[in-house]
Amino acid sequence: TRVELTPVTGRTHQLRVHCAACGHPIVGDSIYGYQGEGAPNGGLTQIDGAAAQNLQRDIYDYWIRSQDDKRVGSAACLLCLHACRLAIFHPLTRAPMIFDCDPPF
């Protein structure tokens, strides 16, 4: 499942923490995802021990098994977070520049 997220505050890890706190960490997140080093569930609430951990592991394992290695390649082990649009001002002309890109996963 893909979701569209928009950061509001610009704080480090904002989207990753919020997804984890909702019980849906970003696939491949080594900090807040399954067995990550960050606080469980984004640090906002504690999850129900073994049952929730097992479910999260099963979902992660299913996702890894379901990926087509030819399509994803080595990206299967990376954080699956992608900016679909980047908008900046040209540094010299100040003209708006917009870049769109479909997600690679």
| Residue 52 counted as domain residue | yes
Considering only CA atoms, which of 26, 20, 21 is closest in space to residue 4? 26
| Residue 7 counted as domain residue | no
Q: Which domain holds residue 90?
A: 14-100
Give yes or no for a contact between 25 and 31, defined as CB atoms under 8 angstroms apart: no
Task: Give this prediction's pTM.
Answer: 0.48
| Residue 6 counted as domain residue | no
> In what helix (H) or strand (E) does residue 25 lie, and over which residues does it extend?
none
| Residue 1 counted as domain residue | no
Q: What is the pLDDT along the chain (105 residues), one digit of tens a residue?
A: 778 887 777 777 888 888 888 888 887 787 887 777 776 555 555 556 676 667 667 766 766 666 554 444 454 456 677 788 889 999 999 999 999 988 776
Domains in the chain: how many in total?
A: 1
| Residue 42 counted as domain residue | yes
Q: Which residues pair with 96 in a beta bridge?
A: 89
| Residue 53 counted as domain residue | yes
